[in-house]
Amino acid sequence: MSNYELSVMDRMADVDRNEWDALAGDGAGGDASPFLGWGFLALLEESLSICPQTGWTPAHFLLRHNGVLVAAAPFYVKTHSMGEFVFDMEFAQIARRSGMDWYPKLVGMAPATPVPAWRVLVAPGEDAPALASLVIEGAQEAARAAGLKGIHLLWPDAGTAHSLSAGGKAAWAEWQHQAFLWENRGWKDFDGWLSSFSKNMRRNVGRERKSVREAGITTRMIDAGEAAATPGLLALFADLYESHNVKFGPWAAKFLTREFFLRLPEFMPDGWCLAAGFEEAAPEALPVALAFLFEGGGRLYGRYYGASREVSGLHFELCYYRPVEYAIEKGMSAFDPGMGSPHKARRGFTSFAVPSFHRPFDKPLLDFMVRVLPEVNEAENAQIAALNEELPYRKDAH
């Protein structure tokens, strides 16, 4: 295709915000995921959460036609696998034992969050499949030329996953990963949703919510505007995020700096909210617990949690039940609560498979992945089926 120019930017701050967010209506308030908006991606970098010092070197690909930006995608050169949530460390070890290298690698994803959102952003009216292919293949060629060891597309959206999977098994090694999702099946309120549960699980949810009230805790949602205007609230959440991750030691998922939260209003004036728990005895004080959620494209995304003290049921209240209420009230179609924690299944979150796509440049590695991943994927899909057997819904409520 003539008159197309592909370039690479090593900083979102050097990309025009309006140009980037105009692609496919992306960005806060647009039709797509907040995780691909300029604000989120730039904030990650400017807060030094995602940067070369943390093993993420931005390499964003921009495609212009006659000087006009028509497609773009966030990419990163990685020297490790932390923050990707596909856990390919075993493949890296196999490569090393075989005398090959896995790192550095080029990764396309929304950084440090397992949300199926990554895609090539394409301007409205353009040939999206053709331009997406140009960007991805151009990124691959650039990675080879730079001496990188492979290209990996992680947590893509459904359209991108379908396109890559349909492109032929020899082109990419496809790896399935379990994820959770709540989808609104026409429920008008929380009680309507809860009525679709079996009797035992309705009782269980009721007990968990009651324990929060009996502990003297009230909960509510705080939108981005109120959160930004409340002195000390974002600093408090930064503290809670830090202390919550400390509990998990080497298994913590701490990828965000304190600056990320403090500078949120500067980069993302909307597109996020907080679920907050307050002590009834001190309603004007700052919350004792907070859950951080993103929103956009008709969906809600639960991501971070922290509490200054342990209260039975409060984690479930702020991370699951209150957000489901909020999603129903706002007319959202779905709520992604994040990965892990099999107890999500018994609280109404369905499991499904999200693929990642891998193309190590050493052909023996690619051949090995193509050979072994079908069995790995079969086991993952069996786990997904087992989790969905734990769903609390009555048979007649489906």
Domain ranges of the chain: 4-179+351-388, 185-332
Quote the pLDDT of residue 30.
42
Quote the pLDDT of residue 126.
94
Residues of the chain with pLDDT under 70: 1-2, 24-32, 167-170, 248-252, 283, 397-398
Token reading at 127 = 């040939």
Quote the pLDDT of residue 245.
76
Of 311, 254, 326, nearest to 277 (Cα)? 311
Cα–Cα dist 86/102, whole Å: 14
Burial class (CB in 10 A: 0-12, 13-18, 19+), 229: exposed
Quote the pLDDT of residue 27.
40
Q: Enter the DSSP assignment of 235.
A: H
Token reading at 332 = 């959202």
Quote the pLDDT of residue 28.
39
CB–CB of 161/355 below 8 Å? yes
Cα–Cα dist 291/300, whole Å: 12
Q: Do domains 4-179+351-388 and 185-332 have the same CATH topology?
A: yes
CATH number attached to the domain at 4-179+351-388? 3.40.630.30
The superfamily (CATH) of domain 185-332 is: Gcn5-related N-acetyltransferase (GNAT) (3.40.630.30)
CB–CB of 338/303 below 8 Å? yes
Quote the pLDDT of residue 285.
85
> What is the reported pTM?
0.94
Cα–Cα dist 276/249, whole Å: 25
